[in-house]
Amino acid sequence: MDFAFDARTEELRAKLLTFMDEHVYPAEQTAEEQRALLASPWDTPQVVEDLKAEARSQGLWNLFLPDAEYGGGLTNLQYAPLAEILGRSPHLAPTALNCAAPDTGNMEVLTQFGTEEQKKQWLQPLLAGEIRSAFAMTEPEVASSDATNIETRITRDGGDYVINGRKWYISGAMNPDCAIFIVMGKTDPDGDDIRRQQSQILVPRDTPGLTVKRAMQVYGYEDHSHGGHAEVVFDNVRVPVTNLIGEEGGGFAIAQARLGPGRIHHCMRLIGMAERAIELMCRRAVARTAFGKPLAQQGVVQNWIADARVTVEQLRLLVLKTAWLMDTVGNRGAHTEIQSIKIATPRAVVTILDQAVQLHGAGGVSQDFPLAELWAAARTLRLADGPDEVHQRSLARREIKKYL
Ligand SMILES: Cc1cc2nc3c(=O)[nH]c(=O)nc-3n(C[C@H](O)[C@H](O)[C@H](O)COP(=O)(O)OP(=O)(O)OC[C@H]3O[C@@H](n4cnc5c(N)ncnc54)[C@H](O)[C@@H]3O)c2cc1C
Protein backbone atom coordinates (compact mmCIF):
# COMPACT_ATOMS: atom_id res chain seq x y z
CA MET A 1 0.00 0.00 0.00
CA ASP A 2 1.29 3.40 -0.94
CA PHE A 3 -0.94 6.28 0.13
CA ALA A 4 1.50 9.09 -0.67
CA PHE A 5 -0.17 11.86 -2.66
CA ASP A 6 1.21 12.03 -6.18
CA ALA A 7 2.10 15.29 -7.94
CA ARG A 8 -1.35 15.76 -9.52
CA THR A 9 -3.10 15.24 -6.16
CA GLU A 10 -0.73 17.66 -4.41
CA GLU A 11 -1.32 20.27 -7.09
CA LEU A 12 -5.11 19.92 -6.90
CA ARG A 13 -5.05 19.90 -3.08
CA ALA A 14 -3.10 23.15 -2.98
CA LYS A 15 -5.46 24.74 -5.50
CA LEU A 16 -8.56 23.51 -3.66
CA LEU A 17 -7.34 24.65 -0.23
CA THR A 18 -6.80 28.15 -1.63
CA PHE A 19 -10.22 28.05 -3.31
CA MET A 20 -11.83 27.09 0.02
CA ASP A 21 -10.10 29.93 1.89
CA GLU A 22 -10.64 32.59 -0.76
CA HIS A 23 -14.13 31.69 -1.97
CA VAL A 24 -16.03 28.95 -0.10
CA TYR A 25 -15.70 29.81 3.60
CA PRO A 26 -16.43 33.53 3.00
CA ALA A 27 -19.54 32.51 0.98
CA GLU A 28 -21.07 30.38 3.76
CA GLN A 29 -22.64 33.36 5.51
CA THR A 30 -23.51 35.11 2.23
CA ALA A 31 -25.36 32.02 0.94
CA GLU A 32 -27.62 31.98 4.00
CA GLU A 33 -28.26 35.73 3.82
CA GLN A 34 -29.12 35.52 0.12
CA ARG A 35 -31.33 32.47 0.64
CA ALA A 36 -33.38 34.36 3.21
CA LEU A 37 -34.21 36.95 0.53
CA LEU A 38 -35.13 34.49 -2.24
CA ALA A 39 -38.72 34.03 -3.42
CA SER A 40 -38.41 30.35 -2.40
CA PRO A 41 -35.80 28.85 -0.05
CA TRP A 42 -35.36 26.04 -2.60
CA ASP A 43 -33.97 28.39 -5.24
CA THR A 44 -30.19 28.60 -5.63
CA PRO A 45 -28.52 31.70 -4.15
CA GLN A 46 -26.47 33.73 -6.66
CA VAL A 47 -23.30 33.20 -4.64
CA VAL A 48 -23.51 29.45 -5.35
CA GLU A 49 -23.66 30.12 -9.10
CA ASP A 50 -20.68 32.48 -8.72
CA LEU A 51 -18.74 29.77 -6.87
CA LYS A 52 -19.54 27.26 -9.64
CA ALA A 53 -18.28 29.64 -12.33
CA GLU A 54 -15.09 30.35 -10.38
CA ALA A 55 -14.41 26.65 -9.67
CA ARG A 56 -14.95 25.75 -13.31
CA SER A 57 -12.63 28.50 -14.52
CA GLN A 58 -9.95 27.13 -12.19
CA GLY A 59 -10.33 23.56 -13.48
CA LEU A 60 -11.85 22.41 -10.18
CA TRP A 61 -14.83 20.79 -11.88
CA ASN A 62 -16.32 17.26 -12.00
CA LEU A 63 -13.24 15.93 -10.21
CA PHE A 64 -15.25 12.96 -8.86
CA LEU A 65 -15.66 11.40 -12.31
CA PRO A 66 -12.93 8.81 -12.94
CA ASP A 67 -13.65 8.81 -16.67
CA ALA A 68 -11.33 11.48 -18.13
CA GLU A 69 -13.61 11.88 -21.16
CA TYR A 70 -16.23 13.44 -18.91
CA GLY A 71 -14.53 14.54 -15.71
CA GLY A 72 -11.37 14.78 -13.65
CA GLY A 73 -10.08 11.34 -14.60
CA LEU A 74 -8.80 10.85 -11.05
CA THR A 75 -8.42 7.54 -9.26
CA ASN A 76 -10.27 7.05 -5.98
CA LEU A 77 -6.97 7.50 -4.15
CA GLN A 78 -6.41 10.84 -5.90
CA TYR A 79 -9.96 12.06 -5.31
CA ALA A 80 -10.13 10.98 -1.63
CA PRO A 81 -8.11 13.86 -0.13
CA LEU A 82 -9.98 16.35 -2.33
CA ALA A 83 -13.40 15.09 -1.23
CA GLU A 84 -12.19 15.36 2.36
CA ILE A 85 -11.48 19.05 1.83
CA LEU A 86 -14.96 19.51 0.27
CA GLY A 87 -16.47 17.90 3.37
CA ARG A 88 -15.22 20.79 5.49
CA SER A 89 -18.02 22.88 3.97
CA PRO A 90 -20.52 20.20 2.95
CA HIS A 91 -23.37 22.60 2.15
CA LEU A 92 -21.43 24.61 -0.40
CA ALA A 93 -18.16 23.12 -1.58
CA PRO A 94 -19.39 19.91 -3.28
CA THR A 95 -22.02 21.88 -5.23
CA ALA A 96 -19.47 24.57 -6.15
CA LEU A 97 -17.27 21.92 -7.82
CA ASN A 98 -20.20 19.97 -9.33
CA CYS A 99 -19.26 17.08 -7.05
CA ALA A 100 -22.46 16.88 -4.95
CA ALA A 101 -24.62 13.81 -4.36
CA PRO A 102 -26.94 12.63 -5.80
CA ASP A 103 -25.82 14.25 -9.07
CA THR A 104 -22.46 12.46 -8.81
CA GLY A 105 -24.02 8.99 -8.70
CA ASN A 106 -26.52 9.90 -11.41
CA MET A 107 -23.78 11.18 -13.70
CA GLU A 108 -21.75 8.01 -13.09
CA VAL A 109 -24.77 5.87 -13.97
CA LEU A 110 -25.37 7.82 -17.19
CA THR A 111 -21.71 7.61 -18.25
CA GLN A 112 -21.70 3.84 -17.65
CA PHE A 113 -25.19 2.79 -18.73
CA GLY A 114 -26.73 5.70 -20.66
CA THR A 115 -27.44 5.65 -24.39
CA GLU A 116 -25.91 8.35 -26.60
CA GLU A 117 -29.28 10.13 -26.67
CA GLN A 118 -29.65 9.97 -22.86
CA LYS A 119 -26.13 11.31 -22.46
CA LYS A 120 -26.82 14.19 -24.81
CA GLN A 121 -30.11 15.11 -23.18
CA TRP A 122 -29.24 14.67 -19.49
CA LEU A 123 -25.57 13.94 -18.88
CA GLN A 124 -24.26 16.96 -20.79
CA PRO A 125 -26.30 19.57 -18.86
CA LEU A 126 -25.48 17.78 -15.59
CA LEU A 127 -21.77 17.85 -16.40
CA ALA A 128 -22.10 21.55 -17.20
CA GLY A 129 -23.83 22.19 -13.88
CA GLU A 130 -26.88 23.64 -15.70
CA ILE A 131 -29.40 21.26 -14.13
CA ARG A 132 -29.59 19.07 -10.99
CA SER A 133 -30.98 15.55 -10.57
CA ALA A 134 -32.45 13.11 -8.06
CA PHE A 135 -32.42 9.38 -7.43
CA ALA A 136 -35.79 7.96 -6.35
CA MET A 137 -35.78 4.56 -4.72
CA THR A 138 -36.96 4.73 -1.07
CA GLU A 139 -40.70 4.33 -0.38
CA PRO A 140 -42.60 5.23 2.78
CA GLU A 141 -44.76 2.10 2.71
CA VAL A 142 -42.03 -0.57 2.65
CA ALA A 143 -38.67 -1.30 4.28
CA SER A 144 -36.61 0.12 1.44
CA SER A 145 -33.21 -0.96 2.75
CA ASP A 146 -34.27 -4.22 1.10
CA ALA A 147 -34.52 -3.25 -2.59
CA THR A 148 -36.62 -6.33 -3.34
CA ASN A 149 -39.49 -4.69 -1.39
CA ILE A 150 -39.84 -1.74 -3.77
CA GLU A 151 -43.47 -1.44 -4.89
CA THR A 152 -43.32 1.22 -7.60
CA ARG A 153 -44.45 -0.27 -10.89
CA ILE A 154 -42.95 0.48 -14.30
CA THR A 155 -45.40 -1.07 -16.76
CA ARG A 156 -44.81 -1.36 -20.49
CA ASP A 157 -47.62 0.09 -22.62
CA GLY A 158 -46.82 0.11 -26.35
CA GLY A 159 -43.92 2.51 -26.92
CA ASP A 160 -44.12 3.88 -23.36
CA TYR A 161 -43.58 2.89 -19.76
CA VAL A 162 -46.19 3.94 -17.19
CA ILE A 163 -44.92 4.57 -13.66
CA ASN A 164 -46.99 4.41 -10.47
CA GLY A 165 -45.62 4.72 -6.94
CA ARG A 166 -44.72 6.94 -4.01
CA LYS A 167 -41.20 7.81 -2.91
CA TRP A 168 -39.77 9.83 -0.04
CA TYR A 169 -36.51 11.31 1.13
CA ILE A 170 -35.60 11.99 -2.48
CA SER A 171 -32.61 14.28 -2.06
CA GLY A 172 -32.36 17.33 -4.27
CA ALA A 173 -35.92 17.12 -5.58
CA MET A 174 -37.16 20.31 -3.90
CA ASN A 175 -34.71 22.39 -5.93
CA PRO A 176 -36.52 23.61 -9.08
CA ASP A 177 -33.25 23.10 -10.99
CA CYS A 178 -33.67 19.36 -10.41
CA ALA A 179 -34.83 18.52 -13.94
CA ILE A 180 -34.44 14.75 -14.05
CA PHE A 181 -35.25 11.82 -11.77
CA ILE A 182 -33.73 8.36 -12.00
CA VAL A 183 -36.56 6.19 -10.70
CA MET A 184 -36.21 2.63 -9.45
CA GLY A 185 -39.26 0.40 -9.81
CA LYS A 186 -40.37 -3.06 -10.82
CA THR A 187 -40.85 -3.99 -14.47
CA ASP A 188 -41.27 -7.69 -13.62
CA PRO A 189 -42.80 -7.87 -10.12
CA ASP A 190 -43.55 -11.59 -10.37
CA GLY A 191 -40.24 -12.65 -11.92
CA ASP A 192 -38.49 -15.67 -10.39
CA ASP A 193 -35.18 -13.87 -9.91
CA ILE A 194 -35.86 -11.19 -7.29
CA ARG A 195 -32.72 -9.35 -8.38
CA ARG A 196 -34.02 -9.00 -11.93
CA GLN A 197 -37.45 -7.57 -11.11
CA GLN A 198 -36.28 -3.92 -10.92
CA SER A 199 -35.37 -1.39 -13.57
CA GLN A 200 -34.21 2.21 -13.54
CA ILE A 201 -35.81 4.81 -15.74
CA LEU A 202 -35.35 8.50 -16.51
CA VAL A 203 -38.33 10.70 -15.67
CA PRO A 204 -38.17 14.43 -16.51
CA ARG A 205 -39.54 16.62 -13.72
CA ASP A 206 -42.19 18.20 -15.92
CA THR A 207 -43.80 14.88 -16.91
CA PRO A 208 -47.57 14.94 -16.17
CA GLY A 209 -48.42 12.84 -13.10
CA LEU A 210 -45.13 13.54 -11.29
CA THR A 211 -45.83 15.59 -8.14
CA VAL A 212 -43.20 16.82 -5.71
CA LYS A 213 -45.48 16.85 -2.67
CA ARG A 214 -43.52 18.10 0.32
CA ALA A 215 -40.12 18.51 1.92
CA MET A 216 -39.27 15.85 4.48
CA GLN A 217 -37.28 17.11 7.46
CA VAL A 218 -34.04 15.87 8.96
CA TYR A 219 -34.18 16.48 12.72
CA GLY A 220 -36.17 19.60 11.85
CA TYR A 221 -33.73 20.79 9.17
CA GLU A 222 -34.93 21.10 5.61
CA ASP A 223 -31.46 20.98 4.00
CA HIS A 224 -32.19 23.78 1.55
CA SER A 225 -28.63 23.81 0.24
CA HIS A 226 -28.98 20.15 -0.79
CA GLY A 227 -32.30 20.77 -2.51
CA GLY A 228 -34.14 19.12 0.39
CA HIS A 229 -35.44 15.56 0.63
CA ALA A 230 -38.84 15.34 -1.04
CA GLU A 231 -41.84 13.10 -1.04
CA VAL A 232 -42.66 12.46 -4.69
CA VAL A 233 -45.74 10.81 -6.17
CA PHE A 234 -45.81 9.13 -9.59
CA ASP A 235 -49.39 8.80 -10.79
CA ASN A 236 -49.65 7.20 -14.24
CA VAL A 237 -46.46 8.95 -15.31
CA ARG A 238 -45.80 8.10 -18.95
CA VAL A 239 -42.33 8.20 -20.56
CA PRO A 240 -41.04 6.67 -23.82
CA VAL A 241 -39.35 3.24 -23.62
CA THR A 242 -36.10 4.91 -24.68
CA ASN A 243 -35.94 6.44 -21.16
CA LEU A 244 -35.05 3.08 -19.64
CA ILE A 245 -31.45 2.97 -18.38
CA GLY A 246 -29.69 -0.19 -19.46
CA GLU A 247 -31.94 -3.20 -19.90
CA GLU A 248 -35.20 -4.28 -18.28
CA GLY A 249 -34.32 -6.06 -15.04
CA GLY A 250 -30.96 -4.29 -14.76
CA GLY A 251 -32.01 -1.85 -12.01
CA PHE A 252 -30.55 -3.78 -9.11
CA ALA A 253 -27.15 -4.18 -10.76
CA ILE A 254 -27.06 -0.47 -11.66
CA ALA A 255 -27.91 0.43 -8.05
CA GLN A 256 -25.02 -1.73 -6.83
CA ALA A 257 -22.64 -0.11 -9.32
CA ARG A 258 -23.48 3.40 -8.13
CA LEU A 259 -23.21 2.67 -4.44
CA GLY A 260 -19.50 1.77 -4.16
CA PRO A 261 -18.16 5.18 -5.20
CA GLY A 262 -21.10 6.97 -3.52
CA ARG A 263 -20.33 5.42 -0.15
CA ILE A 264 -16.64 6.20 -0.22
CA HIS A 265 -17.35 9.81 -1.27
CA HIS A 266 -19.66 10.21 1.75
CA CYS A 267 -16.94 8.83 4.05
CA MET A 268 -14.28 11.14 2.62
CA ARG A 269 -16.50 14.17 3.14
CA LEU A 270 -17.37 12.99 6.66
CA ILE A 271 -13.69 12.99 7.56
CA GLY A 272 -13.52 16.60 6.38
CA MET A 273 -16.51 17.37 8.62
CA ALA A 274 -14.67 15.78 11.55
CA GLU A 275 -11.57 17.88 10.80
CA ARG A 276 -13.72 21.00 10.85
CA ALA A 277 -15.17 19.90 14.21
CA ILE A 278 -11.67 19.40 15.67
CA GLU A 279 -10.63 22.85 14.46
CA LEU A 280 -13.73 24.43 16.01
CA MET A 281 -13.14 22.51 19.26
CA CYS A 282 -9.57 23.73 19.55
CA ARG A 283 -10.44 27.34 18.72
CA ARG A 284 -13.26 27.35 21.27
CA ALA A 285 -11.20 25.59 23.95
CA VAL A 286 -8.42 28.18 23.86
CA ALA A 287 -10.81 31.14 23.63
CA ARG A 288 -13.21 30.32 26.47
CA THR A 289 -12.51 30.36 30.22
CA ALA A 290 -14.57 28.64 32.90
CA PHE A 291 -13.78 28.25 36.60
CA GLY A 292 -10.54 30.17 36.30
CA LYS A 293 -8.85 28.47 33.36
CA PRO A 294 -9.29 28.03 29.62
CA LEU A 295 -11.42 25.04 28.62
CA ALA A 296 -8.33 23.81 26.76
CA GLN A 297 -6.70 23.05 30.13
CA GLN A 298 -9.50 20.71 31.24
CA GLY A 299 -8.43 17.06 31.03
CA VAL A 300 -11.81 15.99 29.66
CA VAL A 301 -11.56 18.49 26.81
CA GLN A 302 -8.03 17.33 26.03
CA ASN A 303 -9.30 13.73 25.96
CA TRP A 304 -12.06 14.65 23.47
CA ILE A 305 -9.58 16.41 21.21
CA ALA A 306 -6.98 13.65 21.43
CA ASP A 307 -9.54 10.88 20.85
CA ALA A 308 -10.98 12.80 17.90
CA ARG A 309 -7.53 13.11 16.33
CA VAL A 310 -6.79 9.38 16.85
CA THR A 311 -10.17 8.42 15.38
CA VAL A 312 -9.80 10.65 12.33
CA GLU A 313 -6.33 9.26 11.59
CA GLN A 314 -7.69 5.70 11.79
CA LEU A 315 -10.68 6.47 9.61
CA ARG A 316 -8.61 8.25 7.01
CA LEU A 317 -6.23 5.32 6.69
CA LEU A 318 -9.12 2.89 6.25
CA VAL A 319 -10.75 5.16 3.67
CA LEU A 320 -7.46 5.51 1.77
CA LYS A 321 -6.92 1.75 1.88
CA THR A 322 -10.44 1.27 0.51
CA ALA A 323 -9.83 3.84 -2.24
CA TRP A 324 -6.56 2.14 -3.13
CA LEU A 325 -8.24 -1.29 -3.26
CA MET A 326 -11.07 0.04 -5.44
CA ASP A 327 -8.42 1.35 -7.84
CA THR A 328 -6.35 -1.82 -7.86
CA VAL A 329 -8.74 -4.76 -7.47
CA GLY A 330 -12.09 -3.10 -8.24
CA ASN A 331 -15.19 -2.34 -6.19
CA ARG A 332 -16.06 -6.00 -5.79
CA GLY A 333 -12.65 -6.81 -4.36
CA ALA A 334 -13.01 -3.91 -1.93
CA HIS A 335 -16.44 -5.02 -0.73
CA THR A 336 -15.49 -5.67 2.90
CA GLU A 337 -13.54 -2.42 3.16
CA ILE A 338 -16.34 -0.36 1.55
CA GLN A 339 -18.78 -1.79 4.08
CA SER A 340 -16.30 -1.27 6.92
CA ILE A 341 -15.88 2.44 6.21
CA LYS A 342 -19.63 2.84 5.65
CA ILE A 343 -20.21 1.40 9.13
CA ALA A 344 -17.27 3.01 10.94
CA THR A 345 -17.14 6.55 9.59
CA PRO A 346 -20.61 8.04 10.26
CA ARG A 347 -20.71 6.42 13.70
CA ALA A 348 -17.34 7.84 14.77
CA VAL A 349 -17.91 11.26 13.21
CA VAL A 350 -21.28 11.57 14.98
CA THR A 351 -19.44 11.06 18.30
CA ILE A 352 -16.80 13.67 17.44
CA LEU A 353 -19.47 16.18 16.41
CA ASP A 354 -21.44 15.44 19.58
CA GLN A 355 -18.41 16.25 21.73
CA ALA A 356 -17.76 19.39 19.69
CA VAL A 357 -21.37 20.44 20.36
CA GLN A 358 -20.86 19.77 24.08
CA LEU A 359 -17.71 21.88 24.18
CA HIS A 360 -19.57 24.79 22.56
CA GLY A 361 -22.34 24.76 25.18
CA ALA A 362 -25.60 26.28 23.95
CA GLY A 363 -23.70 27.68 20.96
CA GLY A 364 -23.16 24.10 19.85
CA VAL A 365 -26.85 23.49 19.23
CA SER A 366 -27.41 26.96 17.79
CA GLN A 367 -27.51 28.30 14.25
CA ASP A 368 -24.39 30.39 14.92
CA PHE A 369 -22.06 27.40 14.54
CA PRO A 370 -22.27 24.70 11.86
CA LEU A 371 -22.01 21.86 14.41
CA ALA A 372 -25.68 21.05 15.00
CA GLU A 373 -26.45 20.85 11.29
CA LEU A 374 -23.28 18.84 10.64
CA TRP A 375 -24.28 16.44 13.41
CA ALA A 376 -27.73 15.91 11.85
CA ALA A 377 -26.16 15.37 8.42
CA ALA A 378 -23.62 12.85 9.75
CA ARG A 379 -26.31 11.03 11.72
CA THR A 380 -28.42 10.47 8.61
CA LEU A 381 -25.51 8.67 6.98
CA ARG A 382 -26.05 5.82 9.42
CA LEU A 383 -29.32 5.32 7.50
CA ALA A 384 -28.87 6.61 3.98
CA ASP A 385 -27.24 4.34 1.36
CA GLY A 386 -28.15 1.40 3.57
CA PRO A 387 -28.50 1.38 7.39
CA ASP A 388 -25.54 0.24 9.53
CA GLU A 389 -27.25 -3.03 10.41
CA VAL A 390 -27.70 -4.06 6.78
CA HIS A 391 -23.98 -3.62 6.12
CA GLN A 392 -23.08 -5.35 9.39
CA ARG A 393 -25.28 -8.30 8.46
CA SER A 394 -23.72 -8.72 5.05
CA LEU A 395 -20.15 -8.19 6.28
CA ALA A 396 -20.62 -10.66 9.16
CA ARG A 397 -22.09 -13.28 6.83
CA ARG A 398 -19.00 -13.08 4.61
CA GLU A 399 -16.71 -13.44 7.64
CA ILE A 400 -18.67 -16.39 9.07
CA LYS A 401 -18.86 -18.15 5.70
CA LYS A 402 -15.10 -18.74 5.80
CA TYR A 403 -15.67 -21.10 8.75
CA LEU A 404 -18.68 -23.01 7.53
C1 LIG B 1 -31.24 12.56 4.68
C2 LIG B 1 -31.63 11.37 3.85
C3 LIG B 1 -31.46 11.41 2.48
C4 LIG B 1 -31.87 10.34 1.68
N5 LIG B 1 -31.77 10.43 0.32
C6 LIG B 1 -32.31 9.46 -0.46
C7 LIG B 1 -32.38 9.61 -1.88
O8 LIG B 1 -31.91 10.59 -2.45
N9 LIG B 1 -33.00 8.64 -2.61
C10 LIG B 1 -33.53 7.52 -2.02
O11 LIG B 1 -34.07 6.68 -2.73
N12 LIG B 1 -33.49 7.35 -0.68
C13 LIG B 1 -32.90 8.30 0.12
N14 LIG B 1 -32.88 8.16 1.50
C15 LIG B 1 -33.48 6.98 2.09
C16 LIG B 1 -32.49 5.99 2.65
O17 LIG B 1 -31.68 5.44 1.66
C18 LIG B 1 -33.32 4.93 3.41
O19 LIG B 1 -33.86 5.59 4.54
C20 LIG B 1 -32.53 3.72 3.81
O21 LIG B 1 -32.17 2.94 2.69
C22 LIG B 1 -33.33 2.83 4.77
O23 LIG B 1 -34.58 2.50 4.24
P24 LIG B 1 -35.89 2.74 5.15
O25 LIG B 1 -35.88 4.15 5.61
O26 LIG B 1 -37.07 2.26 4.41
O27 LIG B 1 -35.63 1.86 6.45
P28 LIG B 1 -36.09 0.34 6.66
O29 LIG B 1 -35.71 -0.48 5.49
O30 LIG B 1 -37.51 0.33 7.10
O31 LIG B 1 -35.15 -0.08 7.88
C32 LIG B 1 -35.38 0.47 9.20
C33 LIG B 1 -34.38 -0.10 10.16
O34 LIG B 1 -34.53 -1.50 10.23
C35 LIG B 1 -33.29 -2.09 10.58
N36 LIG B 1 -32.96 -3.11 9.61
C37 LIG B 1 -33.29 -3.17 8.30
N38 LIG B 1 -32.75 -4.26 7.71
C39 LIG B 1 -32.08 -4.91 8.67
C40 LIG B 1 -31.31 -6.10 8.70
N41 LIG B 1 -31.13 -6.84 7.59
N42 LIG B 1 -30.75 -6.45 9.88
C43 LIG B 1 -30.92 -5.71 10.99
N44 LIG B 1 -31.63 -4.59 11.02
C45 LIG B 1 -32.19 -4.19 9.88
C46 LIG B 1 -32.24 -0.98 10.55
O47 LIG B 1 -31.98 -0.55 11.87
C48 LIG B 1 -32.93 0.10 9.76
O49 LIG B 1 -32.45 1.41 10.07
C50 LIG B 1 -32.43 9.19 2.31
C51 LIG B 1 -32.56 9.15 3.70
C52 LIG B 1 -32.18 10.21 4.47
C53 LIG B 1 -32.38 10.15 5.95
81-134, pLDDT tens digit by residue? 999 999 999 999 999 999 999 999 999 999 999 999 999 999 999 999 999 999
Amino acid in position 203? V
Centre of ligand 1 to C-alpha 46, Å, is 33
Class of domain 252-401: mainly alpha
Which among 161, 62, 172 is positioned nearest to 108, based on CA atoms?
A: 62
Centre of ligand 1 to C-alpha 30, Å, is 33
C-beta 86 within 6 A of ligand 1: no
Which residue out of 91, 144, 167 has the highest number of ligand 1 atoms within 8 Å of its CB and is therefore the one to mutate? 144
Answer yes or no: CATH 1.10.540.10 is held by domain 7-114: yes
Given a contact cutoff of 8 angstroms between Cβ atoms, the answer to whether 196 and 249 are in contact is yes
Work out whether the CA dihedral 270, 224, 95, 169 comes out positive or negative. positive
Assigned CATH for 132-245: 2.40.110.10
pLDDT tens-digit readout, 297-313: 999 999 999 999 999 99
C-beta 141 within 6 A of ligand 1: no
Which residue out of 103, 104, 132, 145 has the highest number of ligand 1 atoms within 8 Å of its CB and is therefore the one to mutate? 145
Q: Hey, where are the domains in the chain? A: 7-114, 132-245, 252-401
pLDDT tens-digit readout, 308-332: 999 999 999 999 999 999 999 998 8
pTM of the model: 0.96
C-beta 346 within 6 A of ligand 1: no
Report the distance separating Cα 211 and Cα 230, nearest Å: 10
